[in-house]
Structure 1
Amino acid sequence: MIGQLEVVTLTPYQALGIPIALLGGVFLALGAQFQHRGVHKVEDRLGSGQKAGLSIAQVRALLMRPSWVVGTVMLGLAIVLQLVSLVFAPLIVVQPLGVIALVITAVVNARISRLKLDHKSIVAIALCVGGIGLFVTVAALTATERPITAGQLTTILAILAGVIVVYSIVFVVLRRRMRAVSYIIAAGVIYGFVATLAKVVLNRLVNGNFEGLTLFAVAILIGGTALGAYFVQNAYAVGSPDLVIAGLTVIDPMVAVAIGVIVLGEAATAPLWASALFVSAAVTAIIGVFRLAKHHPQTHR
């Protein structure tokens, strides 16, 4: 019984990852708003009205939109800050902190679109933030970090390869029927793996294990980032920025955390009560995403 109540807390060095991750969330929110604006301008000018996914011509046009470029730069800064935070702290602690971006995006988007968030939308956002907040709190008290083996990296790469193949087939077959939440789930799952790969690569670099397998992981990381970005742009074309951010800041960390717990063993020392709270917090946050997708004012315009 005593062993079940044992708690492992972050060191001061690891705790530095938390404010860095929060700052990354701010840039994520602002970048999402600018990218969303650019995507909608391109969609209005070049779109067919069928919402069937961005064409090559539309992707090229995005590169010429100042707002989209500014948003991309901000998202780049968000990624850099996220990577820095992963150097300091375990994945399951800092990855969910991007949920701060949801609150910022919701407020900014409501002002720009001149749409007041109704009670149901506010409750949905509160569920997302509350669920993630509880998750991070428990993770900060119980997470541990250890060197990552080649076997663990191989497992992650194999699972990611299967995920990319499945989503690529689904997109080709069902792209004309995919809604915003479908793109968000796809991007969130892929980015969850990308964040995990980033953590693995950084961990192996710190521990002096940079070899062919790690280099291959870097290549897959870059490819996964590009594919996830394409799904995100499609989500912006058919959904509100705060809905996109809600999905990414919940689904992305949930996937990354699941890998961190199951494959990397970051919660190996967590007591039973922490496991129960992890599950409850995750379910709460996911319910919030689907409620926001259903009740957001822009969904009914």
Structure 2
Amino acid sequence: MVPDATDLAGELLRSPLVAVGIPLALIGAVFLSLGAQFQNRGVEKIERRHGDGSRAGLSRRQLVRLLGRPSWLIGSVMLGIAVLFQLASLGFAPLIVVQPIGVVALVVTAILNARVARIRLDHRAKRAIALCVGGVAVFVVVAALYAVDRLVNDTQLLIILGMLGALTLTFGIVFAVVRRRSGALFAILAAGVLFGFVATLAKVVITRITTAGLDPLTIVAIVALITAAALGGYFVQTAHQLGSPDLVIAGLTVVDPIVAVLIGAFVVGEAVLMPWPAVLVGVAAGVVAVVGVRELAKHHPQTHR
């Protein structure tokens, strides 16, 4: 649906608030990285002490024992803080501007891992970090210039909820069938997709409540948000069980923003004012960032230890 000129003008008048949303998202990305580090440490200890060697996803017993691990609890608190900053940023800036900034967490993770493990980043890892930062920076600048906040109507919200329901069912069936051989990449993919919808629904809930109040469909969206966050959280912990923090963060900071940006652009209409040259520049910048993430996950020294 193409918005009318009055709506677009109103959105553009609020565009200076993007300058507030971006630093909030950056702070959230730092807490995301730190939280992942601590959670990974807790999951590794639980798997080492109480795992059965199958590495087929965390059992209920292991999940309960995680609640007694200080490192995991600290990581959970930090992730909670990251979520708060992300939600705050969504209140000031469009989804397609804020969500890609999460890739900064990958850079922080790579550097932090190198310091903790006393490993020097080689030239390939540094080049990959530069690609990540450069690609995301260009993408955010382009998106910030043209993206507009849109109030999601009931039809659009039903489409988003329907997509989430279908994907959740698919992930559940696939995981149940191939649980013992699914691997870290499947868990990361599932978590990234689910958290992409979580970010989208969070933005939807914030805008709908602040503009039109609480209605039955918004309540359904809140329930779907909480459910997707819980299931995505389980897949994240499973990914920590099967892979390193670098791999987990690399996957999440690619899949999550891609899903959120696609929904924001094509379902919500946040990119309606973006001219085709800007779209092409944004796509190219996104590809550069994805290549950087892939290279960083591939060449980070800790990956080969």
User: TM-score under structure 2 normalisation?
Assistant: 0.91
Q: Distance in 2 between matches of 1:45 and 1:36?
A: 14
Kindly provide the amino acid, as one letter, of the partner of residue 107 in structure 2: V
Instruction: String of CA shifts for 1:19-55, please: whole Å, max 9, x gaps.
Output: 1111111111111111111111111111223321111
Give a deviation string over 1:82-119, Cα, whole Å, max 9, x none: 00110111111111112221121111112223333333
Distance 1:124 1:174 in 2: 33
Q: Which residue of 2 aligns with 1:172?
A: 176
Q: Which residue matches 1:73?
A: 77
Aligned pairs for 1:14-163 within 5 A: 14-163=18-167
CA distance in 1: counterparts of 2:123 and 2:49, whole angstroms? 34
Structure 1, unmatched stretches of 5+, are: 1-7
Change (3 A) 1:141 1:103: same
Q: Which residue of 2 aligns with 1:288?
A: 292
Shift of residue 240 of structure 1? Answer: 1.7
Distance in 1 (alpha carbons) for counterparts of 2:288 and 2:41: 30
Amino acid at match of 2:155: G
Counterpart Cα distance in 2 of 1:92 and 1:83: 14
The share of aligned pairs that are identical, in percent, is 57
Q: 4+ runs of 1 displaced by more than 4 Å?
A: none
Note closer, same or farther for the CA distance 1:205–1:114 as it changes in structure 2 (3 Å cut): same
- Read off the aligned partner of 1:180 and give its amino acid letter: A
2 CA distance for matches of 1:11 and 1:129?
A: 23
Decide which moves more: 242-251 or 125-134. 125-134
Give 1:209 shift.
4.2
The equivalent of 1:4 in structure 2 is none
Equivalent residue, structure 2, for 1:257: 261
Find 1:297's aligned residue among 287, 297, 301: 301
What 5-or-longer segments of structure 2 have no aligned partner?
1-11
2:52 counterpart SS class: coil
Cα deviation for residue 149 of structure 1 reads 0.5
Q: 2:274 maps to which residue? A: 270
* Aligned length, in residue pairs: 294
CA deviation map 1:205-258 (0-9, x unaligned):
111142111101100100100111111111112222122112212211111010
Q: Distance in 1 between matches of 2:80 and 2:148?
A: 28
CA contact (8 A) 2:185 2:239 kept: yes
Q: Quick check: 2:91–2:206 contact (8 Å CA) kept in 1?
A: yes
Aligned match of 1:187: 191
The residue type equivalent to 2:125 in the other structure is S
Aligned in 2, Cα 1:159/1:179: closer, same or farther, shift over 3 Å?
same
Structure 1 length as normaliser, TM-score?
Answer: 0.92
Cα separation, partners in 2 of 1:270 and 1:10, compared to 1, 3 Å: farther
Q: Is the 8 A contact 2:18 2:144 kept in 1?
A: no
Secondary structure at the residue paired with 1:16? helix
User: Residues 155-178 of structure 1: CA distance to partner in whole angstroms, max 9, x if unpaired?
Assistant: 100001111111111111222222
Instruction: Please say if 1:201 is aligned against 2:201.
Output: no
